[in-house]
Amino acid sequence: MGFINCVNVSMVSNLINYPLILVNLKSYSETMGAKAEELAEITQKISSDTGIRIGLAPQFTDIQRLKRFEIPIFSQHIDGIFPGAHTGHILAEAVKSSGSVGTILNHSERRMLLSDIESALKRTKEVDLISVVCVNTTNVGMAVAAFDPDIIAIEPPELIGTGIAVSKAKPEIILESVEAIKRINKNVTVLCGAGITCGEDVFSAIKLGSSGVLVASGIVKASNWKNILQEFADAALKAKKDEGTE
């Protein structure tokens, strides 16, 4: 039984809790096809042992093969289109029926116009997909907050893939964006990402006010997925306990 079927609720946002670790598999060959299933198996075990929610955003073509795992699966993008005559677009209904509970939008590597973010967000609400909108600056985060997404992930593009963590190199952007986004829309959850590679990075991100992390290379390219995911989950748990929410 997959994650989306394991709880009898209609709103998928109820399937997520925080802190959330969301692993974007991008177009990495290390986590494609059968390797994505291997990572999902490890993720499911660590998530169930620690109680920390860990989601995966695989390549579109791997969504279906991951739906049997009891972890939240996210699409890497959708377009603000309706079923019909569109070619080369990603339809909200299609990623949902393949097994996604949510979707990333406006990733730095898949930027969208503000108007396209708005129409894609409308589709996530109609189809009941959790939305994670990436933003490169606090100001863009404030603009997007007005569209009422579920989650905004602040990611300074210059740190993506560098191994230099946003929580170490730019702690002020986490503090500032959480405050500014919540001021516009208190219902939005804020994550951060870019360069997160170890438990300490996860711990500091959460202590700075982020509700979790969006990560890619730090997990995908690690030599031992089990060890690194365990380290991330333990750090998230420690931060959660410190906050007195555990």
Considering the rule CB under 6 A, would residue 196 count as an interface residue with ligand G3P? yes
Q: Residue 81 CB, nearest distance to ligand G3P (Å)?
A: 23
Name the one residue in this structure whose structure tokens are 């995911």. 229
- Please say which residue, 199 or 218, places its beta carbon nearer to ligand G3P: 218
List the end-to-end C-alpha distance of the chain, in Å, as a whole number.
Answer: 28
Catalytic residue among 155, 172, 200, 243: 155
Omega into 19 within 30° of 0, i.e. cis? yes
Q: How many chain residues interact with ligand G3P (CB under 6 A)?
A: 14
Sheet (strand 151-154) strand order? 53-57, 20-24, 212-215, 189-193, 151-154, 130-135, 102-105, 74-75
- Catalytic status, residue 107: yes
- Please say which residue, 73 or 196, places its beta carbon nearer to ligand G3P: 196
Instruction: Give the x/- contact pattern for ligand G3P in 128-167, rule: CB under 6 A.
Output: ---------------------------x----xx------
Q: Residue 57 CB, nearest distance to ligand G3P (Å)?
A: 8
> Half-sphere exposure of 146 toward its Cβ, with a 13 Å CA cutoff?
8
**How many whole angstroms separate alpha carbon 157 and alpha carbon 166?**
10
Exactly one of 19, 24, 151, 190 binds ligand G3P (CB under 6 A); which one? 24
How many Å is the maximal CA-CA distance in the chain?
52
Q: Is the dihedral of CA 62, 196, 219, 191 positive or negative?
A: negative
Site residues (CB under 6 A) for ligand G3P, limited to 209-228: 214-218
**How many whole angstroms separate alpha carbon 117 and alpha carbon 105?**
7
- Catalytic status, residue 118: no
Residue of this chain nearest to ligand G3P (CB atom) = 217
Catalytic residue among 107, 172, 200, 231: 107
Q: Residue 188 CB, nearest distance to ligand G3P (Å)?
A: 18
What counts of helices (H) and strands (E) characterise the chain? 10, 8
Site residues (CB under 6 A) for ligand G3P, limited to 56-115: 107
Considering the rule CB under 6 A, would residue 231 count as an interface residue with ligand G3P? no
**How many whole angstroms separate alpha carbon 18 and alpha carbon 191?**
10
**How many whole angstroms separate alpha carbon 49 and alpha carbon 46?**
5
Stretch that binds ligand G3P, among 44-52, 123-131, 177-185, 187-195 (CB under 6 A): 187-195
Which chain residues interact with ligand G3P by CB under 6 A? 24, 107, 155, 160-161, 193-196, 214-218
- Hey, which residues are catalytic here? 107, 155
